[in-house]
Structure 1
């Protein structure tokens, strides 16, 4: 467990340093550099938090966390995961935008600055993370007494049981949230596949026209 976390930390730290060095040297950044650099930073934070959580899972004798520590670490871990999903969604959209032909009405989005991309990413993150605010209420330090209704997250933290109505409402909202971002990424990937397939067929059409020019029909 700790070996995998260590390898992931080193890989993401190296990727983050590469993007920072490109920015320091004054090279012109690509539109996709921002989400890639952010993903490296986000994954680095996620792996570090995972290390803390794993320490509480596998070494419970080290002392229990208090209520504030449980809420902070679990909620931060969830926020970083959601930020990672939003950055991946933005990266998928930017990849699709780079393939847009100049004749398309969507070509104007190619010239959007990193500031606009960051604003869009923050909007996605706020929208996505707004459905996770219930963690401040549902996450708490595990009580000393045992109960069958408690769902353990780590040795020190657990989920407080919610009412059926609240659980059903949150499940519906989370399903809507996931479907929204998956829909955006699906549309972006589908658009890229369609453009690449059309681009692949174009040389065949050009070759056929050239053959007709050199070998006209009698």
Structure 2
């Protein structure tokens, strides 16, 4: 057990460190290189996604890593509620911005395919509003849960506490579970389906364009085919990484919520999987955007 404890500690520390360095390096790059110019819509979405992932790592990865190394219950009740609030906001905004990024990329590739440049300009104008709406909406939605927990805490009904290692809070009940399912879980599932659909749509467009340029015997066409093949693979990696990690994380968190006597392994694996996409997402997106093909009307 000591060996596995040490292994979990090393994995948590490595994962958290890599996530902080990856997300902060991307944020630093955008803030320094585009400080005096307006960000492109794709870069703007990317920057907010990195900010949401950073919130997840700082509020979930760092406290749990500290607890794994022996610093237990170092946060009081109100600090614990604040940490959980930041976790939920970061997770919700991360899922929402990833979905927005996938949809915007699908629209961009579709418009380049059909040479509708005016539509691209129109769609880019709404990106800032959508991102601001995501932040404000999820900050308000997730504020319901700490307020409800505070009201319930002052009531006579005492529920079983949930121990996170670094802090503990009151357990959830049927009302909070229903609110969480309706306001958080259902939109996350909807965003996941939207992202999968838009990514499949991109792959279809890229495949059709690849077939259309196969008859053009030139060096440029062969390069485009290579770019399209790699772009399709990167999109598949992006979607599968996002959906697999978040789906597995949701399943494990659901098991923890339903089981009264969950074991040590289940808790630690749940924490590790929930941090996988926020920590390794920057590296996946780095390869994704370096391979998006430039589809022009001349090649169709």
Fold shared per TM-score above 0.5: yes
Per-residue deviation at 1:55? 2.2
User: Quick check: 1:158 aligned with 2:150?
Assistant: no
If asked which structure has higher relative contact order (CA below 8 Å, sep 6+), I would say: 2
Gaps of 5+ in 1: 141-146, 208-218
Please give the alpha-carbon distance, in whole angstroms, between the structure 1 residues aligned to 2:126 and 2:57.
28
Q: More deviation in 70-79 or 114-123?
A: 114-123
Please give the alpha-carbon distance, in whole angstroms, between the structure 2 residues aligned to 1:42 and 1:168.
25
Equivalent residues, number: 199
Whether the 8 Å contact between 1:139 and 1:158 is mirrored in structure 2 is: no
Please give the alpha-carbon distance, in whole angstroms, between the structure 2 residues aligned to 1:11 and 1:170.
30
Gaps of 5+ in 2: 1-11, 152-157, 218-300
User: Quick check: 1:94 aligned with 2:104?
Assistant: yes
User: Quick check: 1:55 aligned with 2:66?
Assistant: yes
Whether the 8 Å contact between 2:159 and 2:171 is mirrored in structure 1 is: no
Larger CA Rg, structure 1 vs 2: 1
- TM score, norm. by length of structure 2: 0.55
Which of the pair is proportionally richer in helix? 2
**Equivalent residue in structure 2 for 1:81, among 72, 91, 102:** 91
Q: Which residue of 1 aligns with 2:220?
A: none
Segments of 4+ in structure 1 off by > 6 A?
none
Please give the alpha-carbon distance, in whole angstroms, between the structure 1 residues aligned to 2:43 and 2:135.
18
User: Quick check: 1:179 aligned with 2:183?
Assistant: no
Q: Which residue of 2 aligns with 1:202?
A: 212
Q: Which residue of 1 aligns with 2:244?
A: none
Per-residue deviation at 1:187? 2.4
Q: More deviation in 112-121 or 177-186?
A: 112-121
Q: Which residue of 1 aligns with 2:51?
A: 41
Please give the alpha-carbon distance, in whole angstroms, between the structure 1 residues aligned to 2:120 and 2:166.
49
